[in-house]
Structure 1
């Protein structure tokens, strides 16, 4: 097992477009998150030091708040941000699905230009995890990978309409 995992996904769209739909809430609300969930953007400030704060809600469950804090943005090549579950005000809270999920994860996304395609390489790693959080993170890698793959499938479908 590893203390980080990598997800690679290739989109049939140019890099500038893929980067744009990752950075504008008017696009993100159409594809981000689990399929069939309600998505609401509370704050979108896409810059180094900026914040993306949103809620998502399954049809049969409770609302969850998530916050990203961007540390580095190099358009259209790279986005690095810290992600954590939050309350409506943006304060860090424990993950609603597992109290031992790491409080914060560091997410590094690199967008690689192909011939009319874009390959996204995303690395997710827990930030300063406890031993218990690290075990939970390692045990959840397959589930997290499936979640991101489902989200990226939705983005791939969304890009065909752009």
Structure 2
């Protein structure tokens, strides 16, 4: 039985698995597509290893800056990537989401990359870590919003992959 709080997003890309995996694990790729459409991504720190961190900022056209981070847990190239994702300050300290006082502090993300006939299916599973009941409900209620946001981000990835 599936967990009602877990968010699952799957998308197939017209690109080999190694390239799709690299797009998620190389800052030179990530900065071109990661994040909401219209925001500029800057990589402050990138350390791809278990316990390592990807610290980045996203700047809106109006100049607002949001910080985020991944803390890597597992890296199995090119098939699996596991990390926690959270909002942060510029030093990498975890902070509350600016849009909700009940958004979970950390989301555990498990990404799997499966190749079939030169195309790669990415399956992303997200689940709050050590969340309160209220935080779990907030995350569950936001599933549609998060899916829409990731649809835009993954559209940017598909476009980027078609050019590299």
TM-score w.r.t. length of structure 2:
0.96
Aligned counterparts, 1:66-85, within 5 A = 66-85=68-87
Alignment partners' CA distance in 2, 1:89 and 1:16: 31
Structure 1 residues 118-133: aligned runs within 5 Å: 118-133=120-135
The 3-state SS of whatever aligns with 1:19 is: helix
Q: Does 2:160 match 1:158?
A: yes
SS of structure 1 residue aligned to 2:154? helix
Structure 2: how far apart are the matches of 1:48 and 1:38?
A: 27
SS of residue matched to 2:94: coil
The unaligned stretches of length 5 or more in structure 2 are none
1:63 alignment counterpart: 65
Q: Cα deviation per residue 1:25-48 (whole Å; 9 max; x = unaligned)?
A: 011100000111011100011111
Distance 1:144 1:61, change over 3 A: farther
Q: Deviations over 1:116-159 (max 9, x none)?
A: 10000000000011111111101100000111111111000001
- Separation in structure 2 between the aligned mates of residue 53 and residue 71 of structure 1, nearest angstrom: 15
For residue 60 of structure 1, report the CA deviation from its aligned partner. 2.7
2:55 alignment counterpart? 53
| Partner of residue 23, structure 1 | 25
Q: Choose the corresponding residue for 1:87, options 89, 114, 123.
A: 89
Runs of 4+ residues deviating >3 angstroms: none
User: Cα offset for 1:12?
Assistant: 0.2
Q: Which residue, out of 6, 9, 12, partners 2:11?
A: 9
Aligned to 1:30, what secondary structure does the other structure show? Answer: helix
User: Matched residues in 2 for 1:94 and 1:11: separation?
Assistant: 33
Gaps of 5+ in 1: none
User: How many residues align structurally?
Assistant: 162
Q: TM-score, normalised by structure 1?
A: 0.97
Distance 1:92 1:147 in 2: 21
